[in-house]
Chain A
């Protein structure tokens, strides 16, 4: 295991991940043979149908027993098992560099874990780092051996810039036409709103899974007194006196914001999981994702 791997999670956790599989609600056409069922007939192990033999067919799939009974050449058709394109959109805006541990660290670890699951299932894993645009992109990776590359990419990812998910997704999706599973890992603090961004992914008919990360400091801010709150992305400050009622109003607003995101996801049948950075990472992956039927 590389150094990058050590910072993300240990070997034992990796072994646990090997038993998991990412669930996609839709079936997508893959390019390479893999372990994921598709609509196409191919060379998989699962029997699918019969059809009459035509010249040029692979005679290895002829059903000789049927030929003896029917005296006709009948070809057995099997389901084609292809790979699943999985796009991990990791928010690396400046706001993700907040909290202890930072939301970006948490996002890295989740992305790495899910990537490993995808690689283990021979899916094509794409990782996109975005903020006010696509900051970095890891070309599709396939096979467990590529995990170190993913680790390195994630480790090298740095926070910075304002969030503009819509433009980022739009840019990426117009360049990559193939549909797949889009996993968006973000705090969703986007001046332009999260709806328009997710609308872009929906428009490109991706199967979307939303992982909403919040830090404990955002959920229950430990603020007191006369302060100048400075937005980490825009660097704009605002003088404010923290009062108990104001804190309560903020907490209510935060909850409302989360609920609106969850409500949006529910409306369009998008997967949604909200987590806090102080929530144990392993538990999130091994339990919460499975309970949310994102993993099996």
Chain B
């Protein structure tokens, strides 16, 4: 027997003190009431007879003191929180890590899900251990991490509140030195499990076809032309799959394919017939066990002509380019006649800049010396593009690595986004607010206008200025939007709670879906899709051959002190009953 609250010496002292006190009090009990009787002849006879013939008569005199001492010892020792390993188990710590990765939503043959099996196994682990065993429940989504507790009810209710998340799972930081760690998982999404972790497998093979990639991308050769790229993979037995792309306007594309085991279907769908808005891709196949990867979302920008005013003293190449663009409503004005107009979507200033910034976005070619732009610091001869940002929307499908420049203006890029630069000076700069893009070189002193990427660049710039952007692609979980104080809604208009941090907006997207973040005039679409091969491949488990680990179950479900107090209460009842019935003395 060990004690959790006291040392063995302290517990022994406590027992001795309380036992001694009770015995002392027993002998200091109240004197018997004197009662005069006529004669004690018969009483003496009765008492002598009973004492002589009954062992119980001899014992019951000490029965009460034994019971009283036992009661006080039980109470005193219960304060010391004793434990007997064979009855209650030892005082240990168990960490139950539940895999909340999306694959845990996979259905099993019995119609339940791997998650439901995992909950069952976790509760079995909770039933194990002794009454002093402390439990901690943690998930792999980072949302649940309880403290150690002996209250199984709390741990159980916490588990019941948990559910699989679409977010990328991550094995939590747990200390295996002073705890036994169980990981209840299907072993699909999380592979890097520490060696000290005991694995409890809920894996069961399942049929699954999933969308592993879905995005809408512009067609470089076609301004405002978009296509949807879709990738579907079969992770089960050969099956027929119905692929459907649908838009809110009723447009729909359907394709039936048969996929053999592990076969990947990849195709680009022409969306020229689609008006724009949210695009939903769904797949249907027989006995599909995981529904999360059967749907994906994207956003198709609404097609609209950009009213563009070119302010120049004359630039035939630019004029021709803009006139040929079907999605540009071209207007031209001489620099001397420039007046700001309210119906313009975008300005292109060729070697010119107004003294005050325009109210609409502007592309400034060359680096005029005006106050609201950067003041030129000098001229750089023959600068070369050494760095450029391919991720920026205006550089999409644009290559500048072989562009020759005679000279460029040197400017300070502080607080501006450098899109492309030479070693000496930025060559393409962008400002978010007010929105403008500036080339620090003019088209006459470079061959940029003769490159195939230039029309794409102009298209990208106009699109960045005024056209709707393609949706940001995100995975389920915590989604970051590069907009400060944005309001987030689903594509159906339902508000989603969001938080602000470091000039960005964050919100939780538990399920795949299409979201809209709005901040003033700025609007960003966010397509949250599972689209992840490691999630869809529900049969790729490292737990396949694992046997279930189970905690040892002990006879007593509570700490020993509880039963000791219970026994003390029962003994008090027994003593009260027997004493008042004069069974004991």
The answer to whether residues A227 and B35 also contact, given A238-B44, A243-B583 and a CB cut-off of 8 A, is: yes
Report chain B residues within 8 Å CB of A236.
40
Contact in complex: A230, B47 (CB < 8 Å): no
**For the complex, is B177 an interface residue (Cβ under 8 Å from A)?**
no
Report chain A residues within 8 Å CB of B43.
229, 238, 240, 250
Contact in complex: B39, A253 (CB < 8 Å): no
Contact in complex: A228, B40 (CB < 8 Å): no
In the bound complex, CA of A217 to CA of B35 (Å): 12
Partner of A230, one of B34, B42, B50: B34
**For the complex, is A223 an interface residue (Cβ under 8 Å from B)?**
yes
**For the complex, is A126 an interface residue (Cβ under 8 Å from B)?**
no
The answer to whether residues A246 and B37 also contact, given A238-B43, A241-B585, A253-B45 and a CB cut-off of 8 A, is: no
**For the complex, is A280 an interface residue (Cβ under 8 Å from B)?**
no
Contact in complex: A191, B35 (CB < 8 Å): no
Contact in complex: A191, B46 (CB < 8 Å): no
The 0/1 profile, CB within 8 Å of A marked 1, for residues 4-41 of chain B is 00000000000000000000000000111111111111
**For the complex, is B273 an interface residue (Cβ under 8 Å from A)?**
no
**For the complex, is A234 an interface residue (Cβ under 8 Å from B)?**
yes
In the bound complex, CA of A253 to CA of B44 (Å): 10
Contact in complex: B50, A223 (CB < 8 Å): no
Contact in complex: B37, A250 (CB < 8 Å): no
Contact in complex: A249, B50 (CB < 8 Å): yes
The answer to whether residues A228 and B38 also contact, given A238-B43, A246-B582 and a CB cut-off of 8 A, is: no
**For the complex, is A254 an interface residue (Cβ under 8 Å from B)?**
yes
Contact in complex: B32, A227 (CB < 8 Å): yes
Contact in complex: A254, B581 (CB < 8 Å): no
In the bound complex, CA of A103 to CA of B39 (Å): 13
Report chain B residues within 8 Å CB of A218.
37-38
Interface residue count for B (Cβ, 8 Å)?
24
The 0/1 profile, CB within 8 Å of A marked 1, for residues 574-585 of chain B is 000000011101
Report chain A residues within 8 Å CB of B34.
227-228, 230, 237
Contact in complex: B42, A257 (CB < 8 Å): yes
In the bound complex, CA of A37 to CA of B493 (Å): 136
Partner of A228, one of B33, B47, B50: B33
Task: Determine the residue in chain A with the shortest Cβ distance to B34.
Answer: A228
Partner of A225, one of B33, B36, B46, B49: B33
The answer to whether residues A187 and B38 also contact, given A240-B47, A246-B50 and a CB cut-off of 8 A, is: yes
Contact in complex: B47, A238 (CB < 8 Å): yes
Contact in complex: B37, A221 (CB < 8 Å): yes
Min Cβ gap B47→A in Å is: 7
Contact in complex: A215, B38 (CB < 8 Å): yes
Task: Determine the residue in chain B with the shortest Cβ distance to A240.
Answer: B47
In the bound complex, CA of A119 to CA of B543 (Å): 119
**For the complex, is A92 an interface residue (Cβ under 8 Å from B)?**
no
In the bound complex, CA of A226 to CA of B45 (Å): 19
Task: Determine the residue in chain B with the shortest Cβ distance to A225.
Answer: B33
**For the complex, is A155 an interface residue (Cβ under 8 Å from B)?**
no
The answer to whether residues A98 and B45 also contact, given A241-B582, A242-B582 and a CB cut-off of 8 A, is: no
**For the complex, is A233 an interface residue (Cβ under 8 Å from B)?**
yes
Report chain A residues within 8 Å CB of B38.
94-96, 98-99, 103, 187, 189, 215, 217-218, 232-233
Report chain B residues within 8 Å CB of A231.
37, 39-40
In the bound complex, CA of A96 to CA of B41 (Å): 14
Task: Determine the residue in chain B with the shortest Cβ distance to A231.
Answer: B40
Partner of A226, one of B33, B40, B42, B44: B33
Task: Determine the residue in chain A with the shortest Cβ distance to B35.
Answer: A227
In the bound complex, CA of A232 to CA of B41 (Å): 11
Min Cβ gap B46→A in Å is: 5
**For the complex, is A175 an interface residue (Cβ under 8 Å from B)?**
no
In the bound complex, CA of A236 to CA of B44 (Å): 11
Min Cβ gap B128→A in Å is: 49
**For the complex, is A56 an interface residue (Cβ under 8 Å from B)?**
no
Min Cβ gap A257→B in Å is: 6
Contact in complex: B36, A230 (CB < 8 Å): yes
**For the complex, is A239 an interface residue (Cβ under 8 Å from B)?**
yes
The answer to whether residues A232 and B37 also contact, given A238-B43, A250-B42 and a CB cut-off of 8 A, is: yes
**For the complex, is A244 an interface residue (Cβ under 8 Å from B)?**
yes
In the bound complex, CA of A223 to CA of B34 (Å): 11
**Which one of A218, A243, A250 has the highest number of Cβ atoms from chain B below 10 Å of its Cβ?**
A243
In the bound complex, CA of A99 to CA of B38 (Å): 8
Contact in complex: A230, B37 (CB < 8 Å): yes
Binding site for B on A (CB under 8 A): 94-96, 98-99, 103, 187, 189-191, 215, 217-218, 221, 223, 225-234, 236-246, 249-250, 253-254, 257
Given A94-B38, A244-B582: 9 more A-B contacts, CB < 8 Å: A226-B30, A227-B33, A228-B35, A239-B32, A243-B581, A244-B581, A249-B50, A253-B42, A253-B46
- Ranked nearest first, the 6 interchain pairs of A and B with the lowest CB-CB distance are A243-B582, A189-B39, A98-B38, A231-B40, A95-B38, A228-B32
Binding site for A on B (CB under 8 A): 30-47, 49-50, 581-583, 585
Instruction: Pick 24 A–B contacts, CB within 8 A, sort by A.
Output: A98-B38, A189-B41, A190-B41, A217-B38, A218-B38, A227-B34, A228-B34, A229-B43, A232-B36, A232-B38, A232-B39, A238-B43, A238-B44, A238-B47, A239-B32, A240-B43, A241-B582, A243-B583, A244-B582, A245-B582, A249-B46, A250-B43, A253-B42, A257-B42
